[in-house]
């Protein structure tokens, strides 16, 4: 398994390994059922602590990309059969909370221009050697933190978002005003997870507490990708409600 790893990078070791393995999976170099090197074997190969590899593998298991089999090893997970059967109007988080009189506000924690991971580049359908804007946003309702949002957007397409003041602002509204690129359709993938130490601190909960995790890819009226977002929700402060109806 060819892992690209840079000990001089400021990016944490575990995150480099995680993204490298994820790229091998999304690029089909690792296929469902393939066995990964043991934690000890990979740590010896890269010259790092086994605990670093353990964390990278653990997070990939949590995301559903890897599975562990007792006394056998770690394997690429089989593809999940997904069925998207819930539909409805698309609103920004600010619009949803305002409609419920929950006094939305937000605090930008990170606003940076970075090279995208292979996953982000693929989801946003970006060419090689481009950069993306990364916004990390702490969402609050009535001054209580309820979500951490990591949003990625094309820097070439939306450069103003790299420097604009975005605290207590709706990114969707700014996209519409400046670029005419209001998201018209979105695909959301919702899973369950547990809060990391950093997530627990920001959300005001305990490490390991249950959280809801959402991945969103949205497109504009021309069908062009607008954002790729990952959101972690405080499970006690936010709910997803789906109204379903049998047809036929």
pLDDT tens-place string over residues 192-225: 888 899 999 999 888 888 898 989 999 998 999 9
Q: Is 79 exposed, middle or buried (0-12, 13-18, 19+ CB in 10 A)?
A: exposed
User: Which tokens belong to 155?
Assistant: 């820097």
H or E element that contains 195: none
Is domain 13-76 in CATH 1.10.10.10, yes or no? yes
Residues of the chain with CATH 1.10.10.10: 13-76
Report the interhelical angle of 13-26 vs 50-62 (nearest 10°): 50
Residue 137 main-chain phi, psi, to 5 deg: -130, 125
Residue range(s) of every CATH 3.40.1410.10 domain in the chain: 93-234
Selected from 3.30.1370.10, 3.40.1410.10, 3.40.640.10, 2.60.120.700, the CATH number assigned to the domain covering 93-234 reads 3.40.1410.10
> Of the given ranges (22-26, 121-125, 172-176, 242-246), which has the lowest mean pLDDT?
242-246
Asked whether the beta carbons of 143 and 107 are under 8 A apart, the reply is no
pTM exceeding the 0.75 threshold for the entire prediction? no
**pLDDT 10s digits, 59-84:** 888 777 888 888 889 999 886 544 44
């Amino acid at each position: 398994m060819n892992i690209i790893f840079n000990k001089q990078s400021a990016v944490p070791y575990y995150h480099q390994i995680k993204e490298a393995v994820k790229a091998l999976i999304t690029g089909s170099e690792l296929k469902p059922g393939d066995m990964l090197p043991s934690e000890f074997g990979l740590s010896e190969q890269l010259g790092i602590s086994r605990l670093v590899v353990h964390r990278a593998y653990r997070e990939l298991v949590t995301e559903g990309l890897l599975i562990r089999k007792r006394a056998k090893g770690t394997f690429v997970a089989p593809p999940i059969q997904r069925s998207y059967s819930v539909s409805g109007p698309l609103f920004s988080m600010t619009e949803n909370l305002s409609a419920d009189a929950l006094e939305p506000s937000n605090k930008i924690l990170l606003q940076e221009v970075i090279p995208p991971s292979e996953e982000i580049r693929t989801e946003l359908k970006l060419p090689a050697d481009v950069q993306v804007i990364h916004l990390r946003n702490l969402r609050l309702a009535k001054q209580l933190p309820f979500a951490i949002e990591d949003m990625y957007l094309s820097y070439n397409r939306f450069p103003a978002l790299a420097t604009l003041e975005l605290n207590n602002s709706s990114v969707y509204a700014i996209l519409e005003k400046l670029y005419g690129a209001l998201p018209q359709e979105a695909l959301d993938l919702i899973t369950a997870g547990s809060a990391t130490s950093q997530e627990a601190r920001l959300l005001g909960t305990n490490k390991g507490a249950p959280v809801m995790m959402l991945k969103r890819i949205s497109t504009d009226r021309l069908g062009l990708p607008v954002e790729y977002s990952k959101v972690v929700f405080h499970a006690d402060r936010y709910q997803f409600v789906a109204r379903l109806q049998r047809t036929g």
